[in-house]
């Protein structure tokens, strides 16, 4: 069988080689994850500073509140790790890891937060997307510099990381607001 025309590979290589530029190496996954954790810490610290409260009060020593803040933060760190690792070809996230991550995120949603604002009023979509936008855009940009071979799965994991962190920040804000209301009333 004869093809209609033959492909001139030399011409294709010559055309591609003129636009070829060396790229900077990506930082290791651990280093990029460290900076993700620094970003999350900075956002939480700025949130506390904006609310006028730096250290956590004694009443947050309750196990439920610590768990309701810690599990979403843990889920966002794990999701960020999976997304950053997925940007390296050959290190994609397996289906088993995806299911485990989804279970942790669902667990973070199901744990009662100990504040009345989230349990009674619900979460505003605008608040959630507003708080998730900066972590999402930073993680998206960092992962985009790599070469994710499963971009759909990696994109969902990026969204889970940003969503989990936004949930933690909302719970932190609501716990601060509730403690201020209880102390003034």
pLDDT per residue as tens digits for the range 100-118? 988 988 888 887 655 444 4
1's tokens: 């069988």
The total number of structural domains that make up the chain? 1
**Distance separating alpha carbons of residues 12 and 29, to the nearest angstrom:** 34
pTM of the model as a whole: 0.72
pLDDT confidence of residue 162: 92
- Residue 68 inside a domain? The answer is yes
Degrees to nearest 5, angle at CA 52 with 51 and 58: 95
pLDDT confidence of residue 64: 65
pLDDT confidence of residue 161: 92
Containing domain of residue 170, as a range? Answer: 28-184
Residue 119: pLDDT band (50, 70, 90) is very low
In this predicted structure, the answer to whether residue 80 has a pLDDT above a threshold of 70 is: yes
In this predicted structure, the answer to whether residue 178 has a pLDDT above a threshold of 70 is: no
pLDDT per residue as tens digits for the range 36-52? 899 998 988 888 788 77
């Amino acid at each position: 069988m004869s093809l209609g025309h033959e492909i001139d590979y030399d011409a294709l290589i010559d055309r591609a080689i003129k636009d070829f530029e060396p790229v900077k190496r990506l930082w290791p996954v651990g280093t990029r994850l460290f900076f993700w954790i620094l970003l999350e810490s900075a956002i939480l610290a700025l949130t506390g500073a904006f609310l006028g409260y730096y250290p956590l009060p004694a009443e947050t020593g309750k196990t439920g509140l610590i768990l309701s803040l810690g599990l979403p933060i843990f889920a966002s760190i794990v999701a960020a790790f999976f997304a950053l690792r997925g940007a390296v070809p050959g290190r994609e996230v397996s289906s088993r890891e995806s299911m485990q991550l989804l279970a942790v995120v669902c667990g973070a949603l199901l744990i009662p937060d100990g504040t009345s604002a989230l349990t009674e009023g619900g979460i505003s979509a605008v608040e959630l997307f507003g708080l998730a936008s900066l972590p999402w855009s930073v993680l998206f940009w960092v992962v985009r510099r790599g070469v994710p071979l499963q971009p759909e799965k990696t994109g969902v994991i990026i969204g889970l990381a940003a969503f989990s962190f936004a949930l933690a920040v909302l719970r932190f804000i609501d716990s601060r607001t509730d403690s201020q209301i209880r102390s003034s009333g």
